[in-house]
Amino acid sequence: MTEGWPPIPTAIETARLVLRPVLREEAEALLAGGQPAGLSFGEGFPSEGTLESMDLFVGPRRAELPGFTPFHMLRRADGVAIGSIGFTPVAETRSVTAGYGISPAFEGQGSTTEALRGLVAWLFQAGATLVRADTYVDHVASRRVMEKAGMELIEEVDGVEGERPVHYVVYAIAKSLAEPES
């Protein structure tokens, strides 16, 4: 992988959302329990998942995901933050791993699927050849998000979080699968 790939966009726009890169000072403010200037919170924002992504971006866990790039998931209509989405480049490849989360008040409205589709499309335009994402095997809503975004189940993996055994499913979409047919 080339350093600085993929380049970070100013924003990724979809029909109802704007995905805007998180600024370091915003992430630090969120981790400190504050509300960054100019960022309006939707109900339940920041969620536990958003705070975890901020920790992976600027907090003590930042070494776990080198190159991790988070985005605020903002409603286009009013700029309110309702969730987060991001990606981590896989070293020496043109592959990335994506992750996302939305505040519970906004679940079930298709926003996460729309955000993931927008992120995947932008990543492919930026030169990615494969986008992967994972979730717990029993997290049905997250699995549906990936499926609706065009991703396919590629494997199930056992792992450990802390001392707790977990079972994950991994989904992926390759650039050739995402391109419209002529």
Q: Where are the alpha helices (DSSP H) in 97-178?
A: 111-125, 140-148, 175-178
Q: What is the pLDDT of residues 103-138, one digit of tens each?
A: 999 999 999 999 999 999 999 999 999 999 999 999
Which residue in 133, 118, 145, 127 sits closest to 11, CA to CA?
118
Q: Which domains does the chain have, with CATH numbers?
A: 12-133 (3.40.630.30)
Q: What is the pLDDT of residues 61-95, one digit of tens each?
A: 999 999 999 999 999 999 999 999 999 999 889 99
From residue 81, alpha-carbon distances to 1, 33, 103, 111 in Å are 31, 15, 9, 12
